Amino acid sequence: MVFDRKTFVIPDGTEFGERVIVTSGDVVVGDRCLIQFGVKTDGRVFVGEHVIIDGGLEASDDIRVDIFSRIGGDVRSGGNVYFGEKVKVKGKLSLEGDLDVGDSVEIEEGFEAKGWINIRSPIPVVIYIFIYLLQLLRMGRSEEVNRILEEIEENEEGIIPISEKFLFIPNNSIVGVQKSRIECNLRVGKKSRLIGNYEVKGDVFIDDDTVIHGSLKNSGDVSCGENVTIHGNIHADGVVKIEDKTHIIGGVSGEKIYLSKTASVDGELFAKKGVSFISPTEKKLKKKLNVLKTMLM
């Protein structure tokens, strides 16, 4: 899947429990997010700046938490752990690899590390670099200064590749037990289970065999795949499309509604531009035509 900073991505098979989100692959949490769950994954975890996570973190690989973030439970890692300045951990830290911590990091219940422990100086690295470059300029070694600056620019352009399957929470998102707020699009993978009501400023796509225990309210379009169950209402400003064998235990409203004849809606249907019914036969025919067009091109 292509990484898109404007889409909240929940991968296939993700389970939202009462206290923890269980998923697979890398987990990336943007800056200034509030997560009222813990996170457990078989990949890595990257947490941005000024993030609040009410639960703990558990990853089979590395965990990286940026400056001024707070973790409300235990942190367990099968790899290395990096904590930026002013990070606070309410629980205990345990890791199999190396530990790298910045200034004023607080771990309330202590830690166990099997690798190296590096405590960085409170003086920012950039100050050391500035002093070193200033000294080189005084010595007349401008060529050395240019070389160092070029290396710094190259490192800044580098990126950390994430796994093909990942969970991504964009900046400023709130993921709550009762209510979640997302300032961009939402994409939910197959066979996932979510809890809580979602307010989305964008489009929503829900893949097959997913269950959502809550309502959806968004400013764009909504597309529900096959055999989806939503225990709540759908209120969209755009087009709502509901595929085969999907069950909405509530009402549906949107600008226009496309409803499969095998889908069911327990509540009211309200569409400014009307409701159109899609038969399974029409869908299969369109898919065959698209395949045929691809073969002929």
| pLDDT 10s digits, 164-208 | 899 999 999 999 999 999 999 999 999 999 999 999 999 999 999
Which parts of the chain register pLDDT below 50? 157
pTM of the entire structure? Answer: 0.82
Q: Which residues pair with 206 in a beta bridge?
A: 188, 224
- In this predicted structure, what is the pLDDT of residue 146? 79
- In this predicted structure, what is the pLDDT of residue 91? 96
Tokens of 197: 């009501």
- In this predicted structure, what is the pLDDT of residue 279? 77
| Helix (H) or strand (E) run with residue 205 in it | strand 204-206
| Helix (H) or strand (E) run with residue 179 in it | strand 179-182
